[in-house]
Structure 1
Amino acid sequence: MTDAPESSTDSVPATTDGPLGADLRRGPFTEGERVQLTDPKGRMHTITLGTGKQFHTHRGYLAHDDLIGRPDGTTITNTAGVEYLALRPLLPDFVLSMPRGAAVVYPKDAGQIVTMGDIFPGATVVEAGVGSGALSMSLLRAVGDQGRLYSFERRDDFAQIAKGNVNSFFGAPHPGWSVTVGDLVDALPQTVENGTVDRVVLDMLAPWDCLGVVGDALAPGGLLICYVATATQLSRTAEAMRDHSGFTEPQAWESLVRGWHLEGLAVRPEHRMHGHTGFLISTRRLAPGVTPPVRKRRPSKGAADGYDEADVQAVMPSGEWSPEDVGERPVSDKKVRKLARSFSEQQSDQERPGG
């Protein structure tokens, strides 16, 4: 294994004696932390507490100073008599309200990845790509301060936004996290030794391109789980896992979450629900030299024909998958640059003496 370029990897030391971020989850509200305000109609507003600041709406305002030092789960009334419930945002609340560059992995899928991927305390995990850092937070919580999460992201501006969000959530840089800007295929062999990674999580457009280096990095019995948006990606990923011959038979699923309306006797499903966000597909790494057992079930007619590359070339002559190809909205470069610059300025302010 060779050392990764110093400029491409951001690794940080531990900064606290106890579990990182635990002090932000309990005790009275303090300056600089986020608080979620819920009004009588159930509308939520997330604010960052600051001395002398005010939170304004079209119906009055309230002073941040009136919240600082008060306990979690308290209420506060603004100048117009509107009462708000003040709570610390949970991880799902934080993810859905934080600044975003790329699309985020939603909490329902992040929970599935952590549980079905068996992300355990002290594990060595590889993640690609980072996006806005939503999944990174769940993975870092699962591996704990003694685990390691190696995250890879092609775009430097996305990496800056992710680091800003994750540092904001934990209150400090996580001691077990490093972010490498670069392509996973090129950077992973330079970052970890073969056979030393417990889990790999891929959230990218073409995970099948990375199965070779991922298979080398995973320890025997290690698990790979991929998050893909479309059935086309799901099918191609499954066939690539089978063709690799070093993985077990893949398993795929999706989760749908439907909330319920609770009002007196009107107990019913809500009219709107969190439907399809993505598919998850997982497989285990076989020991070196072991071939997977022969599949016993009879494949459907035409299943042995494999994936038709001519169809792919007809849709994408370049052969490169783009977010638009899988139905994602293009990200505004201007918005991403603005968010990355904002987090960079915050980090510079914190590093100044007395900052």
Structure 2
Amino acid sequence: MLIDRKRRSYLVWLKADGAYDLRGGRIAHDALIGQSEGTTVETSRGERLLALRPTLADYVLAMPRGAQVIYPKDLALILILADIYPGAAVIEAGTGSGALTMALVRAAGPSGRVCSYEVREEFQRTAARNIARYLGETPTLALRLHDIATGIPDAPADRLVLDLPEPWRVVEPALGALRPGGIFLAYVPTTIQVQQAAAALRASGGFAQVEIVESLLRPWNVEGQSVRPAHRMVAHTGFLITARRVISEGETGAEDGSPSAVSFEV
């Protein structure tokens, strides 16, 4: 990633003998390949740029998109609210462009597994390319084309994370997919979706602790003695709905819900 003096950033894929053109001139890829992060390079017109490896947040905002991505502020909160831990078996639905998928894979770590479902093949192709470019090989990730509202074949799982327009359709399949104590999380943009999803979770008899939050991110400018909030902020992007899988009346509770070995294959 190249950053100019106005803090504009440019995502560049390096290859031998390649070049990148921008307003301030041209930069040869060979001038960057093999250099340390934090190097400053000059364009053909003498403009200096800072070279850094993009963070996941940088990459998510700049990568090619098939579907709208979940913003970094929500990705971070999802990992905490869904309690994605190293070794977790995670099922995701709504792969989209792969932003949330990458965050889940990194949080679950090499001993965990993530199975991500998508119903649109073109979105899955875009996500697969985005994931491969940033993470490289991902042996702990399985990408599948399937509508989990019709069933969740890769169960049981410790966590279920949804980015779907109708997450209430997944509540019934989730009862059989989540281990007791497991966490259901859905990301939705509107209050109507929140209302329907929350009602379905509460009516199911198998979920408790239903909670809804949103996050608002406001940067601040600090220059000398001047300290003030930025004029622009990332306000509402979506709501996060969470619930815990519990033993309902008539269930045996055969599994104790403790962190367990991954059950599905990738």
Pairwise same-fold verdict (TM > 0.5) = yes
TM norm structure 1: 0.69
Deviations, residues 292-349 of structure 1 (Å, cap 9, x unaligned): xxxxxxxxxxxxxxxxxxxxxxxxxxxxxxxxxxxxxxxxxxxxxxxxxxxxxxxxxx
- The alignment status of 1:268 with 2:224, answered yes or no, reads no
CA distance in 2, matches of 1:147, 1:58: 44
CA distance in 2, matches of 1:187, 1:288: 20
**Selected match of 1:118 from 83, 89, 92:** 83
Deviations, residues 234-269 of structure 1 (Å, cap 9, x unaligned): 111111111101110311110000001122222210
Q: Report the number of matched residues.
A: 251
The answer for the alignment partner of 1:65 in structure 2 is 30
Q: Aligned-residue CA RMSD in angstroms? A: 1.3
Unmatched 5+ stretches in structure 1: 1-35, 292-355
**Selected match of 1:167 from 121, 132, 145:** 132
- The alignment status of 1:97 with 2:62, answered yes or no, reads yes
**Selected match of 2:154 from 172, 175, 191:** 191
Shift in Å, 1:81? 1.3
Shift in Å, 1:151? 0.8
The answer for the alignment partner of 1:220 in structure 2 is 180
Residue type at the aligned position of 2:14: L
Deviations, residues 153-175 of structure 1 (Å, cap 9, x unaligned): 11011011111111111122x11
Residue type at the aligned position of 2:127: A
CA distance in 1, matches of 2:118, 2:201: 22
| Structure 1 consecutive aligned stretches of length 4 or more whose deviation exceeds 3 Å | none
**Selected match of 1:248 from 208, 227, 241:** 208
The answer for the alignment partner of 1:76 in structure 2 is 41
CA distance in 2, matches of 1:187, 1:233: 21
Shift in Å, 1:146? 1.5
Q: Is the 8 A contact 2:183 2:244 kept in 1?
A: yes
Q: Is the 8 A contact 1:219 1:285 kept in 2?
A: yes
Shift in Å, 1:274? 0.3
Q: Is the 8 A contact 1:246 1:290 kept in 2?
A: no
Q: Is the 8 A contact 1:199 1:223 kept in 2?
A: yes
Shift in Å, 1:288? 4.5
Over alpha carbons, which structure has the higher Rg? Answer: 1
CA distance in 1, matches of 2:92, 2:148: 9
Shift in Å, 1:180? 1.2
CA distance in 2, matches of 1:118, 1:290: 28
The answer for the alignment partner of 1:178 in structure 2 is 142
**Selected match of 2:107 from 135, 142, 147:** 142
Q: Is the 8 A contact 1:242 1:249 kept in 2?
A: no
Deviations, residues 85-142 of structure 1 (Å, cap 9, x unaligned): 0000000001001000000011111111101110011101110111000000000001
Shift in Å, 1:187? 4.5
CA distance in 1, matches of 2:5, 2:174: 50
SS at match of 1:178: strand
**Selected match of 2:73 from 108, 115, 125:** 108
Percent identity of paired positions between Structure 1 and Structure 2: 43
Unmatched 5+ stretches in structure 2: 252-266
CA distance in 2, matches of 1:187, 1:48: 39
Q: Is the 8 A contact 2:96 2:124 kept in 1?
A: yes
The answer for the alignment partner of 1:284 in structure 2 is 244
Deviations, residues 29-51 of structure 1 (Å, cap 9, x unaligned): xxxxxxx1011111111101111
SS at match of 1:249: strand
Deviations, residues 199-252 of structure 1 (Å, cap 9, x unaligned): 000110010011011111110100101101001111111111111011103111
Residue type at the aligned position of 1:112: L
CA distance in 1, matches of 2:26, 2:158: 50
Residue type at the aligned position of 2:135: F
Shift in Å, 1:290? 7.0
**Selected match of 2:6 from 37, 41, 59:** 41
The answer for the alignment partner of 1:208 in structure 2 is 168
Greater helix fraction, Structure 1 or Structure 2: 1
Worse-matched range after superposition: 54-63 or 144-153: 54-63
